[in-house]
Structure 1
Amino acid sequence: MARSNVPIVANRWLLRRVARPVLALLGVVACGVGGFVYIGGVSLVEAAFWLLDPSSIALYYQTASGPVDRVKTFAIVVRVALVGALLWTGETALTAAFGGQIQEELKRVKNQRERASVEDHVIICGYGMFGQTVAERAREQGREVVVIERDPTQYERVLDDGFLGVEGDAKHEGVLQDAGVDRASSLVAAIDDSNANIQIALLATQLAPHLTVVVRVGDETYESVARHAGADEVIIPEVAGGEQVLERW
């Protein structure tokens, strides 16, 4: 799957929300200037000045003839629209500043920057209970961790827990590349779906043949398939848990 050339930030809440009122404000200004030129028959410079200072309209028509009533009515409409657009823009800025959105954006930008430079790290696909446990153990060992999670709520938890993250489906080439698969030392396919984990292992070993790949599967019937897909180690949580219980007896 080809990676998009569109910057990730282009899809962010903050940019979209700020862009709408700004574009609306610019639209009001453009319509106002254009309207004054068309109705009043004046130059662009004069029309722009009228938009800034509507009182200059009356002064203009003291020495010139024209549809003064129509121009004044249009000026009132433009003025109201301009005030509304300005209020909308201001409300958006306040919401972003005091609603925590700026902090969220900064956190995401920091995550992207640090993720782009990390090397010899562990990629964990899926942040369920199994993935969380592996991530914590890797951090305790002093290893860098990048978590891939497609669920937005779980992805926010990844960042809140202090891990680097990529929001997306690990079965896609672009997502694995964003996680730095070519620079990673190992990958753990930790999703609660054996087929998905096997697909991830197959793609990851194609992109980075040097990678050590650990695959979680639901039962032993998937083990041979996972190894054929490139898994260096296959984990069956239920079996591993049972063996730990026996070791403690």
Structure 2
Amino acid sequence: MRKSLKRLIKAGILLILSIAAGIFGYMGLEGYSLQDAMYMTVVTISTVGFQEVHPLSGAGKIFTTIYIIFNLGIFAYVISIFTTYLFEGELQQIFKEFLQGREVKNLKDHVIVCGYGRNGKKTCEELINGKLNFVVIERNEEIPRHLPDYLKSRFLIGNATLDDALHAAGIERASAIITTLPNDADNVFISLTARELNPKVNIIARASEENTEKKLYRAGASHVVMPDTLGGLHMAHLVTKPFVIEFLELLSGVGETKLMLEEFSFECLNSTYRNKTIRELDVRNETGVTIVGFKDNRQGFKFNPDPNTKIGENDVLIVLGIEEDIEKFKKRYS
């Protein structure tokens, strides 16, 4: 948007300077009044060919000749810029980006995604499924043009390694930032900058090389993901543990039966069910979901927790079930 506005402002300034030069020229050389000089200037730069206000002197004719030649280029440039804005949708695009900027400024606890490549695209799909607010910072202006309108509104065109782009995306108010750029050095730089701008933000960074992992953690990353390594392990496990992988794929939404893992914190539970034991909640009989994990705020994660475990402040339940049963759990216990 800034680049587009700069072109419009530049064209406007050139037009104003050209008109001012004509007015002062005719007033100084021909002694015209301000009104006559303004009229003569507009007639000259528009090349409509009306008669002069008064017969021109020799100096006036030379000035007019040079002025016309000089303004042919300026007038053509100004007209092309204004035509682009009025008839080719440039003005509408600027207005959309202005509204988008205002919308981003109102976001809080959102997720910032840096890069919309293969990993970034899958990240955004999952965020949409999880109904989370997010903003994408993408350098390639062509990518958003081929996306649905609901996705276009989430895009900011810019370089995520620059402070201005992160500020525009609301890094100070974001809960997490996911950097998926293919260049490890860029991900390190973004992690370092994001941690400085928001010490509390959760930073998830992509790494291609193993020796980059430590650098990302030193730069402030909360979690580092190596897609190539994970892909290799997945392919090997398809041979060594095929049924485990088949089950895990169900959790990822692959297959007819779509299992889901969801987390519910103590604060998300209805006050009626807080400070109760897992046995007292009786979630399996009431909703069909299974509590497979429990995060104690003191002892950490517990797999297949004891039914007598009490759910207290800052504790988290990890539940497993099909989508319909998860929704039952939300309606009953949230």
- TM bracket (short chain): 0.7 to 0.9
Q: Give the counterpart of 2:7 among 7, 16, 20.
A: 16
Q: CA deviation at 1:31?
A: 2.9
Q: CA deviation at 1:18?
A: 6.0
Q: CA deviation at 1:195?
A: 3.0
TM-score for both structures, normalised by structure 1: 0.74
Judged with a 3 Å threshold, the aligned counterparts in structure 2 of structure 1 residues 102 and 224 are, in CA distance, closer, same or farther, namely same
User: What number of residue pairs does the alignment pair up?
Assistant: 230
Matched residue type, 1:73: K
Question: Is the counterpart of residue 135 in structure 1 residue 86 in structure 2?
Answer: no
Q: CA deviation at 1:122?
A: 0.8
Matched residue type, 1:248: E
Question: Is the counterpart of residue 147 in structure 1 residue 136 in structure 2?
Answer: yes
Contact 1:214 1:233 in 2 (8 A): yes
Structure 1 unaligned segments of length 5 or more: list them.
1-8, 59-67
TM-score for both structures, normalised by structure 2: 0.57
Aligned pairs for 1:1-249 (under 5 A) are 9=1, 11-17=2-8, 19-20=10-11, 22-48=12-38, 50-51=40-41, 54-57=51-54, 68-70=56-58, 73=61, 77=65, 80=68, 84=72, 89-154=78-143, 161-245=151-235, 246=238, 247-248=245-246
Higher relative contact order (CA 8 A, sep 6+): 1
Structure 2 unaligned segments of length 5 or more: list them.
44-49, 239-244, 248-334
Q: What do you get for the CA RMSD once the two structures are aligned?
A: 3.4
Q: CA deviation at 1:140?
A: 1.5
Contact 1:213 1:232 in 2 (8 A): yes
Contact 1:123 1:186 in 2 (8 A): yes
Decide which moves more: 150-159 or 29-38: 150-159
In the alignment, the residues of structure 2 paired with residue 148 and residue 37 of structure 1 have an alpha-carbon distance, to the nearest angstrom, of 52
Contact 1:147 1:166 in 2 (8 A): yes
Judged with a 3 Å threshold, the aligned counterparts in structure 2 of structure 1 residues 45 and 71 are, in CA distance, closer, same or farther, namely farther
In the alignment, the residues of structure 2 paired with residue 159 and residue 14 of structure 1 have an alpha-carbon distance, to the nearest angstrom, of 25
Residue aligned with 2:113, SS: strand
Judged with a 3 Å threshold, the aligned counterparts in structure 2 of structure 1 residues 228 and 90 are, in CA distance, closer, same or farther, namely closer
In the alignment, the residues of structure 2 paired with residue 185 and residue 100 of structure 1 have an alpha-carbon distance, to the nearest angstrom, of 35
Residue aligned with 1:12, SS: helix
Decide which moves more: 172-181 or 219-228: 219-228
Q: CA deviation at 1:134?
A: 0.4
Residue aligned with 1:133, SS: helix
Of the two, which has the highest radius of gyration? 2
Contact 1:36 1:71 in 2 (8 A): no
Residue aligned with 2:54, SS: helix
Q: CA deviation at 1:101?
A: 1.5
Structure showing the higher strand proportion among its residues: 2
Residue aligned with 1:209, SS: coil
Structure showing the higher helix proportion among its residues: 1
In the alignment, the residues of structure 1 paired with residue 64 and residue 192 of structure 2 have an alpha-carbon distance, to the nearest angstrom, of 65
Matched residue type, 1:146: V
Residue aligned with 1:111, SS: helix
Decide which moves more: 29-38 or 84-93: 84-93
In the alignment, the residues of structure 1 paired with residue 16 and residue 111 of structure 2 have an alpha-carbon distance, to the nearest angstrom, of 47
Contact 2:144 2:152 in 1 (8 A): no
In the alignment, the residues of structure 1 paired with residue 213 and residue 60 of structure 2 have an alpha-carbon distance, to the nearest angstrom, of 79
In the alignment, the residues of structure 2 paired with residue 50 and residue 224 of structure 1 have an alpha-carbon distance, to the nearest angstrom, of 71
Judged with a 3 Å threshold, the aligned counterparts in structure 2 of structure 1 residues 192 and 76 are, in CA distance, closer, same or farther, namely closer
Judged with a 3 Å threshold, the aligned counterparts in structure 2 of structure 1 residues 72 and 154 are, in CA distance, closer, same or farther, namely same
Q: CA deviation at 1:218?
A: 1.5
Q: CA deviation at 1:121?
A: 0.8
Residue aligned with 1:57, SS: coil
Q: CA deviation at 1:124?
A: 1.1
In the alignment, the residues of structure 2 paired with residue 229 and residue 18 of structure 1 have an alpha-carbon distance, to the nearest angstrom, of 40
